[in-house]
Amino acid sequence: MATRSRIAIENQDGSVTSIYCHWDGYIKSNGVILNNNYNTTDKVNELIALGSLSSLYETIDRTISYHRNSGEDLVQTKYNNVEELFEDGFSSGVEYVYCFTKDGIWLVNALGSVNVDVLSEVIEEEGY
């Protein structure tokens, strides 16, 4: 069964661009991959440019994008700001929302949680 997630970046103007990822959205998988491998604005923008994903991997080349790898339409979802992302990001049936801020910090929120947490702190606390 899929664990769906939304992966986003906060743009310099405060708006947010996001993509859907179908598989392995939980923190011990996609969260760790994002934290360890997509930790600069350039890398995250390159990832977001792929559009919606089937699976996230440690490199762009291995990551499976519906647009690049299957010829489907490029799909990205825009939000006015980070707050709107975390309020509305779950409406597409995802269980985790990740956002790389313009300050270079990954944030995470899990479905049903009222807290938006710093991803690196969650990874450290959970021992992933």
| pLDDT digit string (tens) for the chain, length 128 residues | 699 999 999 999 999 999 999 999 999 999 999 999 999 999 999 999 999 999 999 999 999 999 999 999 999 999 999 999 999 989 889 999 999 999 999 999 999 898 999 999 999 999 99
The amino acid sitting at 48 is I
pLDDT for the residue 91:
86
Token output for 102: 């313009």
Strand partners, 99: 8, 107
Res 92: pLDDT: 81
